[in-house]
Chain A
Amino acid sequence: MSYKPRQHKVLWFLRVIKSLLINQYALMMEYRAEIALWALSGILPLIMLGLWSQTNIQDLIELQGFNLKRYFLSAFVVRQFTVVWVIFSFEEDIVQGRLSPFLLQPVPLFWRYYTSHIAEQITRVPIVALMIMILSVVLPNSFWLPKFTELILTTFVIFLAFTVRFMIHWAFAMSCFWVERASSIERLLLIPYLFFSGLVAPIDTFPKEISQIAYLTPYPYLLSFPANLLSGHHVNIQLNIMILIFWALFLFLISTLAWKKGVKHFTAMGA
């Protein structure tokens, strides 16, 4: 008896997600010029590639067969598809008074932002593809063709990494319920990401103690792991994926608790 309505609920939810995705994709297509510029502003890994290519980085890295160009080009791609701006959106929605109507809808607000981020990534695909094509002309002999299965696996891992990064920001976005201008936290979150994720330097170049600290945070798994995977470097895939899933679940738990408290606080304020 209880099976059928449950199944309906799942179907209903999938339909909601699907329509949200379609809707957000249409919206993002309107912003494609803007998104192209955002994509263009993700060139940091390429600048770093330029710097590292002039040094004796290979002496620092124990990893066998480490390929610098591949690493930073992969980091560039991973970075393109793990961009998150949910704190900013959430704060804007609160300030503009859009939160109350959203709260009245039966779908948790989380899904609205999550699908909007995914829709943005889909919009990015052709833009990034074009950028890679241009790069392959500018940097000949540095491109490689990953195996099809590797590509599928990497796509999945990038998606997982994006989800974890999204969850980190979503958890911090909850502070918008209590403080004004929480969006400056977004700037703060960028710092550990910048230095601990492997975006500006491969984590293998770090001194032992510091890389140990880095691996205690979720950041290396967000960029270094997928980038190494895409480069064809040797990484422990199962372990890294497990850790990503652990972080996703952990952050989901925390943000759900914070969300409940926040909504209570918000509605108690009579906003």
Chain B
Amino acid sequence: MKSKFNKYINISMVLLRFWQTSLAIELEYQLNMLIELVSVLGNLFGSLFILSLFYKSGPLLGGWNFFEALIVLGIYMILEGITTSILAPNLSRIVNHVKNGTLDYVLLKPIDSQLWLSLRIISPWGLPSQLIGILLIIYSLVSIQVDLSLFNILIFFTCLFASSLILYSLWFLLASTSIWFVKVWNATEVLRSILVAGRYPMSAYPRGLRTIFTFLIPIAFLTTVPAEVIIGRVSNEYIAIILIIAAIFFAISRRFWKFALLHYTSASS
């Protein structure tokens, strides 16, 4: 029990070290901060503008009013921020490790390789998007008079955790295929382009797309379902569903990585 505890302490020390070093690199480029802020604000106003166009043609978008749709957008922006902060900088480097052969060094470290590859770097440039996302959600919740109780906040962060885990697992699954296919390192970009659909409530899409976004690529569980839980459109039991789906995806990503490594270590030269 104690050794397990020590292990976690040790891992968090490692992570702190990682992040300290990666922040040190990023903060050398101050111009990026400005560009990132402008880009996040631009994206926000653009999205609000497009959303307002939808509502010009009718009072509801797939049965959602404007503020409810804003919550979906807010969750999307938070996930986008997490992508910029953690997923993109770490997972897009896996292919470089494979190409340069430095994956060997990662595998020879006495630490879980998936952890190392997924959390080595943290980039501050995703923060503005996460912050604005949270503000947007608070603003909308107040506007539609949802009770901001501690319980609801807890529910919200549980949902957010689950949907981040699903997002991470999807990214990691695609990124780890680069162990076989170095040439299609940009497969994660395709995922990213499809995830854009998560900006809007799923019910706003025609049935065909809705089916794809629910069962094939679980975008519905990334933004829409969490939003439904917070607003109270569906019962709280839905949290369990999101959590189970998240657990399944995470388990698949770990299994797949083990499988990929087996291939790597039995075929690499």
Contacts and interface: CB of A to CB of B under 8 A. Distances in A.
CB–CB under 8 A between A and B in the complex? yes
Interface of A: 31, 33-34, 37-38, 40-44, 47, 50-51, 53-57, 59-60, 138, 179-181, 184-185, 187-188, 191-192, 194-195, 200-201, 205-206, 210
B31 A181 contact: yes
Contact of B58 (A42, A55, A179, A185): A55
9 contacts: A34-B186, A41-B192, A51-B200, A56-B58, A60-B56, A179-B31, A184-B32, A184-B36, A188-B35
Nearest to B43: A191
B194 A50 contact: no
A206 B54 CA distance: 11
Contacts of B196: 44, 47
Given A181-B29, A187-B35, A191-B46, A53 B206 contact: yes
B185 A34 contact: yes
B46 A194 contact: yes
Please give me the 9 A-B residue pairs with the lowest Cβ-Cβ distance, nearest first: A41-B193, A195-B46, A191-B42, A55-B57, A56-B57, A50-B209, A41-B190, A41-B189, A184-B35
B197 A188 contact: no
Contacts of A55: 54, 57-58, 61
- Chain A at the B interface: mostly helix, strand, loop or mixed? helix
B205 interface: yes
A269 B50 CA distance: 45
Interface string B15-46: 00000000000000101100110110011001
A56 B200 CA distance: 17
From A54, A184, A191, A195, residue with most partner B Cβ within 10 Å: A54
Contacts, number: 90
B35 A40 contact: no
A224 to B, nearest CB: 14
A200 B50 contact: yes
A9 to B, nearest CB: 40
Contact of B186 (A41, A44, A187, A201): A41
Given A59-B57, A188-B39, A201-B50, A33 B183 contact: yes
Nearest to A196: B46
A185 B192 CA distance: 19
Contacts of B234: none
Contacts of B39: 184, 187-188, 191
A188 B38 CA distance: 8
Interface of B: 29, 31-32, 35-36, 38-39, 42-43, 46, 49-50, 53-54, 56-58, 61-62, 181, 183-187, 189-190, 192-194, 196-197, 200, 204-206, 208-209
B186 A195 contact: no
A16 B205 CA distance: 50
Contacts of A47: 194, 196-197, 209
B176 to A, nearest CB: 16
B77 to A, nearest CB: 14
Contact of B184 (A34, A60, A180): A34
A182 to B, nearest CB: 9
Contacts of A40: 190, 193
Given A60-B56, A60-B57, A188-B38, A50 B185 contact: no
A54 B194 CA distance: 19
B193 A185 contact: no
B204 to A, nearest CB: 6
Nearest to A58: B57
B194 A43 contact: yes
Nearest to B197: A47
B83 to A, nearest CB: 13
A1 B10 CA distance: 81
Contacts of A188: 35, 38-39, 42
A265 to B, nearest CB: 17
Given A34-B183, A44-B193, A50-B209, A205 B53 contact: yes
A185 B32 CA distance: 9
Contacts of A185: 35
From B32, B36, B53, B183, residue with most partner A Cβ within 10 Å: B53
Contacts of A138: 208
